[in-house]
Amino acid sequence: MARAGFALADWSEKWFPDAYVFAVIAVVIVGVAALLMGRTPTQIGTDFGAHFWDLVPFAMQMAFVVITGYVVASAKPVHKLIVRLSTIPKTPKTAVAFVAFFAMVASLLSWGFSLIFSGILIREVSKRVKGVDYRAIGAAGYLGLGSIWALGLSSAPALLMTTKSSIPPALYKISGTIPLSETIFTWQNLVMIVVLIVLSVTICFYSTPNADKAKTAEMAGINYGAGDDLVEKTKAEKPGEWLEYSPILTLILVAIGAIYVFNIIKTKGPIAALDLNTYNFMFLMLGMLLHWTPRSFLNAAAKSIPATGGVLIQFPIYAGIFGVMMGSGLAELLMKFFLSISTQNTFPAIVAIYSAILGLFLPSGGGKWIVEAPYLLEAAKQLHVGLGWVVQVYNASEALPNFINPFWMLPLMGIMGVKARDLAGYSILQLVFHLPVVIFMCWILAKTVPYIPAIF
């Protein structure tokens, strides 16, 4: 397994494109498919441009997931925890497995937090454990996004389906609301999480090369030991800076935010209150509190901005791809094909395969769910497949393309100072094992999920 990981890493380092190039290639592929379906170049261009800005609100939410995740993960209390954790592993294999475990656990709270937490953990572990292959440990830090993040609290589709006001009217007529008790808070979902964590950590341990064969960060010209990004002045030097270095404003703002959070939880309940905006709001307030002073918080927020560049630039491109797929009928054609070969027994596996394929071209989480949900949930109702489980099948399978699509690697790459090709080899190795396991679990666990009619 170590030889396979090493070979894939070498191959991807040489041949894997940058994330932006990957997005443009996807535009070309979908455009050619649209031409073959009878769309003219003018129509394709119109479809692309008309939908180019469709995901701006969602892109902003995802950018805040990155920002809030970075702010929380880079706070001094969290950084101290990371430093302590980094002293635990002693060998390259245990170091990579260790990072993988914490990357996945952190992703259950927030995929943005997971990427930043893992990136800092990788830097600290790499300083202390000699002979760690930087490609293997980097891919381990990315595992949360390739495996279980969408099964946790930052699942945009699961959060979206909880409240009527968040669901598009056309979709609501089909699905009604789907509470989190039918999606992420089910024992079947917990089984998937545990199995994927064990599988991922095991693969990491056995695929990591020994120190004598590893390509270390130093060999790649990456220096994790120079300087400390968290060192900054802590006292005001001018009268005008006094409030910047005082916790007074932070405490006032966090107190106001706490009132809002308390009221919304009291009104809706802790589960129903969770949507993407509330989720980001709570993480933002937590980040402010952990940083204590406005200056520390603002410095951390400023450092997080470069990690959002890929999201802000590439989301519109993927929205344009979505427009071409919808305008040409390609997405609906694919769905009808999969439905034509589905039964109640095979539908969950078919959905998993379909979502994984489409996710390769549209790594947009909740944005893509809006497109797929009407077809998937209507078919599920006709076949009497649990609607909540369909959401989780989507969540589990939609994460799989992340192993080979570098889009979500961007924040982690920024902290590590690496490119997508550096992480892709070991990520592809994980995909080889995850793909059949995820599809099997989506299928077998569906047999234990009762069909519950839509709640209106």
Residue 324: phi, psi to the nearest 5? -65, -40
Report how far apart, in Å, the C-alpha atoms of 422 and of each of 129, 326, 391 are.
19, 33, 32
Taking the C-alpha atoms of 236, 240, 243 and 245 in order, what is their torsion angle to the nearest 10 degrees? Answer: -20
Looking at the chain, the whole-number percentage of residues with pLDDT higher than 70 is 87
In terms of phi and psi (left: phi > 0; alpha: psi -120 to 50; beta: otherwise), the region of 364 is alpha
70 vs 159: CA distance, rounded Å: 21
pLDDT for the residue 209:
87
pLDDT in tens, 298-316: 988 988 887 787 778 877 8
State the residue for tokens 């404003």.
249
What is the separation of C-alpha 85 from the centre of its chain, rounded to a whole number of angstroms? 23
Q: Tokens for 51? A: 């939908």
374, 413 contact by CB (below 8 A): no
132, 140 contact by CB (below 8 A): no
Confidence of residue 456 (pLDDT cuts 50, 70, 90): confident
pLDDT for the residue 227:
47
Q: Tokens for 403? A: 């192993």
Q: Is residue 436's pLDDT more than 90?
A: yes
25 vs 291: CA distance, rounded Å: 41
439, 353 contact by CB (below 8 A): yes
138 vs 426: CA distance, rounded Å: 9
436 vs 215: CA distance, rounded Å: 30
Half-sphere exposure of 104 (CA within 13 A, CB side): 24
Q: Is residue 398's pLDDT more than 90?
A: no
Name which of 204, 119, 126 is nearest 410 in CA terms.
119
DSSP class of 176: B
> Residue type at 168?
P
Higher pLDDT, 320 or 444: 444
175 vs 94: CA distance, rounded Å: 45
Residues 6+ apart with CB under 8 A from 267: 273
pLDDT for the residue 10:
63
What's the rounded mean pLDDT across residues 169-186?
A: 88
Name which of 396, 380, 308 is nearest 59 in CA terms.
308
- Rounded to two decimals, the pTM is 0.81
SS3 of 93-109: HHHHHHHHHHHHHHHCC
Mean pLDDT of the chain: 84
pLDDT in tens, 139-156: 999 998 888 988 998 787
Confidence of residue 84 (pLDDT cuts 50, 70, 90): very high
pLDDT for the residue 413:
75
pLDDT in tens, 34-65: 999 999 999 999 999 998 887 787 778 778 88
297 vs 75: CA distance, rounded Å: 8
405 vs 18: CA distance, rounded Å: 10
- Give me the residue spans of the domains in the chain: 2-446
Q: Could you give the 3-state DSSP secondary structure of residue 455?
A: strand
Residue 17: phi, psi to the nearest 5? -80, 170
Mean pLDDT highest for which of 2-6, 65-69, 245-249, 306-310? Answer: 245-249
Beta bridge partners of 455: 176, 177
Angle between helices 276-291 and 248-268 (to 10 degrees): 150
Confidence of residue 201 (pLDDT cuts 50, 70, 90): very high
Higher pLDDT, 326 or 249: 249
pLDDT in tens, 108-119: 988 878 888 898
170 vs 165: CA distance, rounded Å: 12
Name which of 239, 235, 237 is nearest 296 in CA terms.
235
